[in-house]
Structure 1
């Protein structure tokens, strides 16, 4: 294949997915040549346009995993905004050391349905957005080495003058989202939970409002007034550590993750 342009498109509220997307994209560019372009799909203004890719483009699309699937508020936007024309693609999912469940398969099927052919797909572990104790240090050196090998093998497939064969994956219907659990094993119900601001720490810099990918924090009052997808962008990016959640079910779910998912989870590479 003659790859004219490499473009990475990623949704990354706390930066982990962006880091992995850029690393893999740079490795692909090192093998295939060219200077990659980047689209930060986290920014609301970048989700207002359609993105159409040609047969000689290469799309690296990276998404975080939310409850074992693609983020439910982003899935319709992915499907209605990103289109190929027999375009090669490398889908990536980043999960918080629990499990990527069905997210990678979901992203592969979405891209195939929108006109892409898959050169390779991978799910990589990262630090969990909810806790520094889950996925600590991921991606680490071993992860980066796996990314290098994955990118090299995908680039080798792309360098051949032959159509890409369909990826060998389960193509049955995608199942339901994972149900978050509390410490006692019962469902954790925190859909309506929203972040709060500690008035003793908050300096009204507005970083949280700027970081929110759904524009759900009022720029004047800095109160969470719209839909919250629990991405933790406001919490992670606040320079004063003033943002936090106090919802009991949410905190119990975080404790459950810290008790059960600190052991190293393995990445999945599909080529």
Structure 2
């Protein structure tokens, strides 16, 4: 059976986990591994399509406890009638809340049969310390265990739908709050560009929303989803966020969720 990895991964961690899962699963099942990214705007011109006899890994990062809301409309175009589906979500050490259940609903709306799902951990996009260097070797070992369990289930002809963690229907998006319960609104926050920018254009090339003007990378021409792809991929390190609420929220996350969160998966 061929394995298709449908992946939204602005900074690459979700792709790393999903591709390792797909590679291991394809090896167990003797099929081909096919990646179909939908991270960049030009990659979302055609729908995600799989057919009966194929396995789909639908992988996205967690944003505020859910799948990224900017991908909701595009995900509704996914077609997977008769395919076996595995939703995978990747979160930054806080919680994945209802994102995994939401991934299941997307797969089922596309006509797919969900046979498993997993939530894995990667370094938080906001932070240099929260879940730093993850996914690590222990995380990837969990990915391999998950793949092996999926392969055994498929080879046994077991198609029961596992109960994934999360609410169905999903609850509203997580609202950033300080430790006193006060809401923090960072939706309109955008990154700044400091001195030393070499106008290489990498930030514009990697922005998943196409929101950075390639002719003038200091200019935003669309929304910012705070994926931090521009900041993390800047070769001279001059992209940054200085909004006080954003900085405070980042500090709160780092202090309140410093423990090691562990992957969970369901088959």
Matched residues in 1 for 2:4 and 2:22: separation?
A: 8
Structure-1 residue corresponding to 2:216: 221
What is the aligned counterpart of 1:265 among 239, 249, 261? 261
Matches within 5 A, 1:160-179: 160=156, 162=157, 164-169=159-164, 172-179=168-175
Write out per-residue CA displacement over residues 90-124 of structure 1, whole angstroms, 9 at most, x where no aligned residue: 11000001100000011012211211111210000
Answer whether contact 2:101 2:168 (CA < 8 A) is retained.
no
What is the aligned counterpart of 1:77 among 68, 74, 77? 74
Structure-2 residue corresponding to 1:133: 129
What is the aligned counterpart of 2:57 among 60, 79, 102? 60
SS in 1 for 2:5: strand
Structure-2 residue corresponding to 1:242: 238
Structure-2 residue corresponding to 1:23: 20
Structure-2 residue corresponding to 1:48: 45
Matched residues in 2 for 1:96 and 1:52: separation?
A: 28
1:37 aligns with 2:38: no
TM-score by length of 1: 0.94
Q: Which runs of 5+ in 1 are unaligned?
A: none
Answer whether contact 2:98 2:167 (CA < 8 A) is retained.
no
Paired residues, number:
265
Q: CA RMSD in A?
A: 1.4
From the superposition, tell whether residues 188 and 171 of structure 1 become closer, same or farther in structure 2 (CA, over 3 Å). closer
- Deviation, 1:172, is 2.9
Answer whether contact 1:183 1:253 (CA < 8 A) is retained.
no
From the superposition, tell whether residues 174 and 195 of structure 1 become closer, same or farther in structure 2 (CA, over 3 Å). same
- Deviation, 1:137, is 2.1
- Deviation, 1:171, is 6.5
What is the aligned counterpart of 1:107 among 92, 103, 106? 103
- Deviation, 1:168, is 2.1
Write out per-residue CA displacement over residues 46-104 of structure 1, whole angstroms, 9 at most, x where no aligned residue: 11102221111111110000000000101221122x11112101110000011000000
